[in-house]
Amino acid sequence: MLHFKQYDAPNSELVSYNHKPLVMLHGLFGSLENLAGIARPLAAQRPVYSLDLPNHGRSAHTDICNLEVMAVAVSDWLLEQGLTQVDLLGHSLGGKVAMEVALTVPERIGRLLVVDIAPVAYSSGHDNVFQGLMSINLDTLKSRQEADQYLQSYVQEIAVRSFLLKNLVKQASGGFAWRVNLAGLHAGYSDLLKENSRDMCFPGPTLFVKGGDSDYLQESYRDEILARFPDTSLKVVSNTGHWLHAEKPDIVAKIVNNFLGDSE
Active site residues: 92, 242
What contacts 203, CB < 8 A, 6 or more positions away? 106, 230, 231
